[in-house]
Structure 1
Amino acid sequence: MENALKGIKILDLTQAMSGPFATMLLGDLGADIIKIEPPDGDQTRSWAPPYMEGISSYFMSTNRNKRSLAINLKTEEGKQIFRKLIAESDVLVENFRPGVIEKLGFSYDIARSINKNIVYCSISGYGQTGPMRDYPGYDLAILAMSGLLGITGNPGESPVKFAVPIADITTALFATVSILSALYNRERTGEGQYIDLSMLDSNFLVLTHQLMSYLSTGKNPEKLGSAHSSIAPYQAYKTLDSYIVITVGTEKLWKTFCETIDPGLENRTEFKTNVDRVSHRELLKKEIEDALKKKTTEDIYRTLVQNGIPCAPVNSVADAASSSQIKFREMIINMDTDYGKIRIPGTPFKLSKTPGEIRFPPPSLGSGNEEILQDIGMTSGQIEELYNKNIIFKRMKDE
């Protein structure tokens, strides 16, 4: 079986999380990702420890299925090489602050003059236009600015950041959809285009029903911890030994839940409808935890699942990684690499005809130099000269 994006070449000028995660997804789907790195490498190569066989585990998390070309784009020879790569590529992705790529000499207009059909995606904190275009935008700042951070955490307490850079990851998903849409449009029309992808835009949209609640009532949504603003029971509940998440979204499920946990709950007037249960959320939480406090999470989980109630134990990362479902779905795989044996996440792209595939591991810095440059017609002697002149670089370990 072939990969869906086989034959698509993507120049990846991104660092940190949003851009690399997007290009990694496209690489899983078969695109040839050429990761352009500065002499010292992607900044996340130094976001360590921990390391995995001498490579930063943070870098490893977003850079599989890529070939690394470590090149100094501030030199004229480096720029000439990059122009040749643009001419032969389908997509260019960058996530510099607005204006930086223009100073390097590779704006969309310049890239289009080299390759009129190129799809060019710029990812930035606030977009390429507007009064905040020049502001720096890392994940936490975007979460705060978008309103998402303002509705996290427990009532009356400080905001709580999600434990992974969720604003970056959300942006990456929007970038991936945008790039695939632009490639499909190019297939129909023969024309490339420019994509202005804003982290703030992306995460403001993620407010979804919370934003619509504000727009319909004029009231700010409240912090609810793990609870849901419009459904109850729908949150984490304490058990004898830990916590379990229970999500009861229909009246039919509510009836079954009561029959399973405490039949008396169904007859309480405070809990008769979902509106009633939301209005008495704290009382409902106390009653449910009173019913659960003498049982372990595992016992409760098995009972609820057997009765069709959506629920889950609050797993640690180790618990999740060792679960039978993750193993069965091959979401952790073992790989042999030039720098040692590693374990990395599998791909979620389970397509029947063109599935995603982990073809090669995250690259050491510059490990693709020779292959990439030979692909554009350079000889071994010319490549050796580039090393001697400090135009290209290579390093096997990040430590």
Structure 2
Amino acid sequence: MAKWESKGVFKGMKVLDFTIALAGVYTAWQFADLGAEVWKVERYNAGDQARTWDPFVNGMSTLYCAYNKNKQSIELDLSSQEGKDVIYRMVKEADVVLENFKSGSIDRLGLGYEKLKEINPKIVFMSLSGFGASGPLMKYPCYDAIAAARGGFAASNGEPEGAPMKAGNANCDTLTGIYGFNAVLMALIEARRTGKGCRIDVGMSDVVMVSCAETLMDYGKYGEAQSRFGNHDRFVAPYGIFEARDGWVSIIADTEERWKSMQKALGLPEDPRFADNAGRIANRDALVEQIEGVTRTMFRKEAEEKLLAAGVPASEMLPFIEAYTSDHANQTEATSFAWQDKIGTIRFYNNPIRFNDEVCPIHRGSPLLGQDTRDILASVGYSEAEIQKLIDDEVAGEHMF
């Protein structure tokens, strides 16, 4: 089994990670990728709920694998006093605590901020939940699609006459995770300056609403919410996704100069309806029909190359497997192969952040349940005999699934 090793800008930092599912897990993943020692605290004989989510390879959830690389797993019974005592010892060594249980759950366990800051006043403690630490919804569970629904994101996506639409991937979760990561970084800077940590509260629904900020501006000015426009922009045309002979191509002609260049490149006829952006917006359906009358005769790569040569932003629409195996992705090292216990060598995304042009290393895949229990306990001062007793008493575990 791969041992944990530290390399990165956060080398020496320790993160106590209670997060489950995705949003908080994503925050912890950023710290792990950038060199922090992330101790993933998992429920005894159960672990992160994402371990139970499809799809599976050799009994291992690939969704769990995707978001937990570079971490260590310690398996504890947090309902027991002995399990809590382990956490109290761990928090003495930690810089950051992350949790994304339902609001108030961590406090009821006796592991909330007020308790942990007595042990380590410099601790930065982030609570990331669906609806934040206050308000009438705070007690309810929240997942990506719930946040998309409550925050207005889904209502602003989809075809004009169709149903609201969530994103194909867990964008609300990951965006919330990034907000959480940034919040912790800011709090760490403040803790270094003052010697005191703080509690951070991040609510997924709040983050999703912020991502729809332009809709709020529309409502404030016009008194009505944003309409859905499918694959085309509300205020600029042409700006969207157009059908090609073998798929789709994204095209943006956001200035009159680019529109003229696009007309010339695609051989589009002069049409007084499309003389300016206001006319193109008012006659959007006719505009799309005219453009697709040409792009449907072209392969997507051909359309992309012709438009880029004319100075018009464009990209062929890549199916997922083409996107992450493209020449650009390969040359920028967007992905790399690493060993994943139970599965073998698999492809992971690299962290997109580069320091001095170096890719953040993948030093291990996602840990099995309790894979690092003994090592973590030893690192915070437990003797071999004490560790064995915790395991024998089912306070700590190493179930390894």
TM over 0.5: yes
Give aligned pairs, total: 394
CA distance in 2, matches of 1:242, 1:42: 39
AA of the residue aligned to 1:77: E
What TM-score, normalized by structure 2, do the two folds share? 0.94
Q: Deviations over 1:133-163 (max 9, x none)?
A: 1122211111111111111111111122211
The equivalent of 1:44 in structure 2 is 50
Contact 1:71 1:391 in 2 (8 A): yes
Residue 287, structure 1, aligned to residue 290, structure 2: yes
Q: CA deviation at 1:122?
A: 0.2
CA distance in 2, matches of 1:9, 1:290: 58
AA of the residue aligned to 2:352: P
Q: Deviations over 1:32-75 (max 9, x none)?
A: 11000002110011102232x54210001110111000111111
Which of 313, 318, 332 is the aligned partner of 2:316? Answer: 313
Change (3 A) 1:195 1:354: farther
User: Match of 1:19, SS?
Assistant: helix
CA distance in 2, matches of 1:210, 1:358: 39
Q: Which stretch of the first structure deviates more once superposed, 210-219 or 338-347?
A: 338-347
CA distance in 2, matches of 1:271, 1:309: 17
Give runs of aligned pairs for residues 117-128 of structure 1, distance below 5 A. Answer: 117-128=122-133
Q: CA deviation at 1:172?
A: 0.5
Gaps of 5+ in 2: 1-5
Residue 135, structure 1, aligned to residue 143, structure 2: no
The equivalent of 2:159 in structure 1 is 154
AA of the residue aligned to 1:314: M
CA distance in 1, matches of 2:258, 2:215: 24
Residue 83, structure 1, aligned to residue 91, structure 2: no
Contact 1:27 1:66 in 2 (8 A): yes
Residue 261, structure 1, aligned to residue 266, structure 2: yes
User: Match of 2:354, SS?
Assistant: coil
Q: CA deviation at 1:241?
A: 2.3
Contact 2:333 2:359 in 1 (8 A): no
Contact 1:3 1:354 in 2 (8 A): no
Which of 383, 386, 392 is the aligned partner of 1:382? Answer: 386
CA distance in 2, matches of 1:354, 1:76: 44
The equivalent of 1:371 in structure 2 is 375
AA of the residue aligned to 1:239: A
The equivalent of 2:74 in structure 1 is 69
Q: Deviations over 1:356-377 (max 9, x none)?
A: 3322211111111111000011
CA distance in 1, matches of 2:162, 2:206: 27
Contact 1:36 1:68 in 2 (8 A): yes
The equivalent of 1:233 in structure 2 is 238
Contact 2:7 2:34 in 1 (8 A): no
Percent sequence identity over matched residues? Answer: 29
User: Match of 2:229, SS?
Assistant: coil
Q: CA deviation at 1:382?
A: 1.5
AA of the residue aligned to 1:333: S
Q: Deviations over 1:110-152 (max 9, x none)?
A: 1111111100000011110122211222111111111111111
Change (3 A) 1:207 1:328: same
CA distance in 2, matches of 1:70, 1:275: 60
CA distance in 1, matches of 2:357, 2:161: 51
AA of the residue aligned to 2:287: L
The equivalent of 1:391 in structure 2 is 395
Q: CA deviation at 1:211?
A: 2.1
CA RMSD of aligned residues (A): 1.6
Q: Deviations over 1:307-333 (max 9, x none)?
A: 232122222111112211111111221
CA distance in 2, matches of 1:158, 1:2: 47
CA distance in 2, matches of 1:219, 1:48: 40
User: Match of 1:23, SS?
Assistant: helix
Which of 241, 247, 254 is the aligned partner of 1:242? Answer: 247
Q: Which stretch of the first structure deviates more once superposed, 70-79 or 306-315?
A: 306-315
The equivalent of 2:3 in structure 1 is none
Which of 185, 200, 205 is the aligned partner of 2:190? Answer: 185
What TM-score, normalized by structure 1, do the two folds share? 0.95
Which of 1, 7, 10 is the aligned partner of 1:5? Answer: 10
Which of 1, 21, 28 is the aligned partner of 1:23? Answer: 28
AA of the residue aligned to 1:208: A
CA distance in 2, matches of 1:377, 1:95: 27
User: Match of 2:355, SS?
Assistant: coil
Q: CA deviation at 1:176?
A: 0.6
Gaps of 5+ in 1: none
CA distance in 1, matches of 2:94, 2:358: 22
Residue 298, structure 1, aligned to residue 304, structure 2: no
CA distance in 2, matches of 1:355, 1:239: 35
Which of 208, 216, 235 is the aligned partner of 1:211? Answer: 216
CA distance in 1, matches of 2:85, 2:195: 26
Residue 323, structure 1, aligned to residue 326, structure 2: yes
CA distance in 2, matches of 1:114, 1:95: 21
CA distance in 2, matches of 1:392, 1:309: 59
AA of the residue aligned to 1:42: D
Change (3 A) 1:362 1:356: same
Q: Deviations over 1:4-35 (max 9, x none)?
A: 21111111100011000111011111111100
CA distance in 1, matches of 2:30, 2:388: 33
Q: CA deviation at 1:337?
A: 4.5
The equivalent of 2:60 in structure 1 is 55
